[in-house]
């Protein structure tokens, strides 16, 4: 059995950030992880380049049953603070769209920064160690892993959510919370592609690979303006991933296929410039041809010349193109989701320290708790902010 002051379960973004912060404060810190490498989700994120933060991250970019909960940590350690850290380490990075920052070369560069910070802070890292049980005793917690047992004063659970089971996602964090009487909110896959009912699958057959700039709106009126992508399994793309976090089974989503150009205006313009051309030809100038052929070709007006289209036909077309409703069959689930919605109820935790209100010296951070960011670097930023908040407190 080994003793350590602080034991952290999970060498992901939240766990490593917390470890370095606590280590710099002179704490004896051990991080255990069942994987053979640390930061495995960081490595696969952002197509291998990790969208490591978002310059515009605010509490509004997070879903949490208590929307005020995220304010404290994000306010005390912001995206700018993390950018300063990676710049100190000389990370080459670039801005993409919507405030998203990515590594220029590889997400490994970012993991190396976190590992360097942990090394400088004297953190001990134990890989291939799966936590199997946790017990509370007079000296803190007794934690058993598949390789060793630990006695620690303070336990930080940073074991992540349920996404990507292939990468070692386990429900251990929820189990520990429940074991100590903490409420765990129901979990579900989020930032995840939609699957489709058979009739839609047939209609969309052959559209795989088509991407369209849209706005997508959920039934509770949340809207994202980004691309949708037809895949051979259903619908994906950033707009769909974003809206999936706000979608519930049985609900529809509304897609505006031409968010920048009302079809009424386009048809008026076309009446002046190319009245003899067919609607189909003209629609193919603003939307992908394959999409028009598969989707709009069922409509009789499609072969009419622009100057033959009536007002009511324009109205019907407008409904179709600007308020296209799709009722997904479901989502692809945890297998491909980026995050887990729900988790350890934030009402059980201090928003300043992430310590459990019920059990002294027991902390929860990262994806295991009920804080879920939008797509775009917000989830890693939550991990950095929470890791620092917790690391300063343990
Ligand atoms: P994380 O899951 O990273 O780490 C938890 C660790 O705990 C794991 O290493 C696991 O092995 C370990 N563990 C679990 N159970 C254990 C046990 N019983 N014993 C020991 N160890 C155990 N976010 C973002 O902001 N920008 C992006 O670009 C992306 N891209 C992206 C792509 C893909 C494909 C996915 C799946 C996810 C993203 N994300 C993202 C989301 C982001 O990866 C996620 O929010 C963070 O990795 C969560 O970090 P945590 O540290 O909380 O958990």
What is the whole-number distance in angstroms between the Cα of residue 310 and the centre of ligand 1? 54
Q: Which domain holds residue 261?
A: 193-331
Tens digit of pLDDT for each residue in 41-59? 999 999 999 999 999 999 9
- Residue nearest (by alpha carbon) to ligand 1 atom 26: 377
- Residue nearest (by alpha carbon) to ligand 1 atom 37: 338
Return the pLDDT at 323: 97
CA distances from 314 to 127, 263, 306, 310, 318 (A): 62, 8, 10, 6, 6
Return the pLDDT at 204: 87
b/e string for 211-228 if b means 16 or more Cβ within 10 A?
ebbbbbbbeeeeebbbbb
Beta-carbon count within 10 A of 383 CB = 29
Tally of structural domains, the chain: 2
Judgement on whether residues 260 and 239 belong to the same structural domain of the protein: yes
User: Where is 314: in which H helix or E strand?
Assistant: helix 311-322
Tens digit of pLDDT for each residue in 230-248? 999 999 999 999 999 999 9
The alpha carbon torsion through 64, 67, 72, 74 (nearest 10 deg) reads 60
- Closest ligand 1 atom to the C-alpha of 14? 51
- Residue nearest (by alpha carbon) to ligand 1 atom 14: 159
Of 280, 300, 331, which residue constitutes the final position of a domain? Answer: 331
Are 31 and 117 contacting, i.e. CB atoms less than 8 angstroms apart?
Answer: no
Mutate to test the pocket of ligand 1, among 12, 70, 187, 244 (most ligand atoms within 8 A of CB): 12
- Residue nearest (by alpha carbon) to ligand 1 atom 30: 45
Beta-carbon count within 10 A of 45 CB = 22
The span from the CA of 307 to the CA of 348, in Å, is: 64
- Residue nearest (by alpha carbon) to ligand 1 atom 21: 33
ipTM greater than cut 0.95: yes
Judgement on whether residues 323 and 240 belong to the same structural domain of the protein: yes
Are 11 and 31 contacting, i.e. CB atoms less than 8 angstroms apart?
Answer: yes
CATH number at residue 327: 2.40.30.10
CATH number at residue 58: 3.50.50.60
What is the whole-number distance in angstroms between the Cα of residue 328 and the centre of ligand 1? 26
- Residue nearest (by alpha carbon) to ligand 1 atom 2: 160
- Its pTM stands at 0.96
Of 331, 354, 381, which residue constitutes the final position of a domain? Answer: 331
Copy the structure tokens of residue 330. Answer: 């479901």
Tokens 């150009």 belong to residue: 261
Judgement on whether residues 247 and 156 belong to the same structural domain of the protein: no
φ, ψ at 45 (rounded to 5°): -75, 155
**Positions of the chain with pLDDT under 70:** 297
What is the whole-number distance in angstroms between the Cα of residue 325 and the centre of ligand 1? 33
- Residue nearest (by alpha carbon) to ligand 1 atom 12: 10
CA distances from 379 to 82, 201, 279, 313, 328 (A): 13, 31, 43, 45, 25
Judgement on whether residues 75 and 42 belong to the same structural domain of the protein: yes
Q: Determine the straight-line distance between the first and last CA of the chain, rounded to whole angstroms.
A: 22
What is the whole-number distance in angstroms between the Cα of residue 41 and the centre of ligand 1? 5
Identify the residues whose C-beta falls under 6 Å from ligand 1: 9-15, 32-35, 40-41, 44-46, 50-51, 130-131, 158-160, 163-164, 168, 170, 172, 338-339, 366-367, 377-380, 383
- CA 380 to the chain's CA centroid: 9
What is the whole-number distance in angstroms between the Cα of residue 255 and the centre of ligand 1? 30
CA dihedral sign of residues 168, 329, 211, 376: negative
As a 3-state breakdown, the chain gives helix, strand, coil percent values, each rounded to 5, of 35, 25, 35
């Amino acid at each position: 059995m080994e003793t350590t002051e602080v034991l952290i379960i999970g060498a992901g973004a939240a766990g490593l950030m917390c470890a370095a912060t606590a280590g710099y404060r002179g704490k004896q810190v051990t991080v255990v992880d069942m994987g053979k490498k640390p930061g495995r989700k960081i490595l696969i994120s952002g197509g291998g380049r990790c969208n490591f933060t978002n310059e515009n991250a605010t509490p509004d970019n997070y879903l949490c049953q208590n929307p005020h909960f995220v304010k404290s940590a994000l306010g005390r350690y912001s995206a700018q603070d993390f950018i300063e850290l990676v710049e100190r380490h000389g990370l080459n990075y670039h801005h993409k769209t919507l405030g998203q920052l990515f590594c220029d070369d590889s997400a490994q560069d970012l993991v190396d920064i976190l590992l360097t910070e942990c090394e400088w802070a004297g953190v001990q890292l134990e890989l291939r160690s799966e936590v199997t049980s946790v017990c509370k005793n007079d000296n803190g917690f007794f934690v058993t892993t598949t390789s060793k047992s630990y006695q620690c004063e303070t336990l930080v659970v940073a074991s992540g959510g349920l996404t990507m089971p292939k990468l070692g996602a386990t429900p251990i964090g929820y189990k520990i919370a429940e074991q100590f009487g903490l409420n765990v909110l129901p979990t579900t896959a989020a930032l995840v592609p939609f699957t489709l009912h058979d009739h839609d699958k047939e209609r969309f057959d052959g559209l795989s690979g088509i991407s369209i700039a849209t706005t997508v709106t959920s039934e509770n009126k949340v809207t994202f303006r980004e691309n949708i992508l037809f895949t051979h399994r259903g619908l994906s793309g950033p707009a769909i991933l974003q809206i999936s976090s706000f979608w519930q089974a049985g609900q529809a989503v509304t897609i505006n296929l031409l968010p920048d150009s009302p079809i009424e205006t386009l048809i008026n313009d076309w009446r002046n410039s190319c009245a003899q051309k067919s609607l189909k030809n003209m629609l193919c100038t603003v939307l992908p041809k394959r999409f028009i052929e598969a989707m709009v070709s069922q409509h009789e007006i499609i072969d009419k010349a622009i100057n033959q289209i009536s007002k009511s036909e324009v109205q019907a077309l407008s409904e179709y193109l600007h308020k296209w409703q799709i009722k997904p069959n479901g989502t692809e689930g945890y297998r491909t989701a980026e995050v887990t919605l729900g988790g350890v109820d934030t009402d059980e935790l201090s928003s300043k320290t992430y310590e459990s209100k019920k059990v002294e010296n027991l902390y929860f951070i990262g994806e295991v708790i009920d804080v879920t960011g939008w797509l775009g670097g917000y989830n890693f930023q939550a991990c950095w902010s929470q890791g620092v908040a917790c690391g300063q407190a343990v």
